[in-house]
Amino acid sequence: MSKLCQGPSCHMYDTTDRKRGPKGNKVNQTRTVGRYGYGEGNFCTLNCQNDWWKEHGTRAVEYIGILRERKVMLPENSWSKRQSYRWEDDGHVATYYYRNMCTTEERPLTEAQYNDSTYTLNTGE
Ligand SMILES: [Zn+2]
């Protein structure tokens, strides 16, 4: 079954794909998320995501936990994965590397390390 859009006002946007029912008695219904779901696949459009946020966002942040202390960027938490492309005779070649946003140091990465979401040089939050 397709997942429904979680936008609280999704059914209030007047588009033809939301209309259901017999001629003369059509009603607008909540859409399904569709293949380009927004907000991690919970909303059909950014408008619906924003509507949800307006209605529930503050409560969601409070439920997850309010940030009470500033976070700080340090050398041990500022490694960022990067890729660059260059063209050669047989097509483009990708190079992968880590760049430290604090120190500007760069270290090479393999493609597998680049694509591995668990691989990191960062040791702090
Ligand atoms: Zn929606």
Question: Per the structure block, which two tokens stand in for 50?
Answer: 């924003």
- CB hemisphere CA count around 72 (13 angstroms): 4
pLDDT in tens, 48-82: 999 999 999 999 999 999 999 999 999 999 999 99
- The torsion defined by the Cα of 41, 124, 78 and 38, in degrees rounded to 10, comes to 10
Contact 81, 109 (CB under 8 A): yes
Q: Distance, CA 119 to ligand 1 centroid (Å)? A: 35
Gap from CA of 73 to ligand 1 centroid (Å): 36
pLDDT over threshold 70, residue 4: yes
Residue 29 backbone dihedrals phi, psi, to 5 degrees: -120, 160
Q: What is the pLDDT of residues 12-24, one digit of tens each?
A: 999 999 999 999 8
Structural contact between residues 55 and 79, judged by C-beta atoms closer than 8 angstroms? no
Distance 63 CA to ligand 1 centre (A): 24
pLDDT band at 1 (very low <50, low <70, confident <90, very high): low
The pTM (predicted TM-score) of the whole model is: 0.69
Q: Ligand 1 centre from 35 Cα, in Å?
A: 13
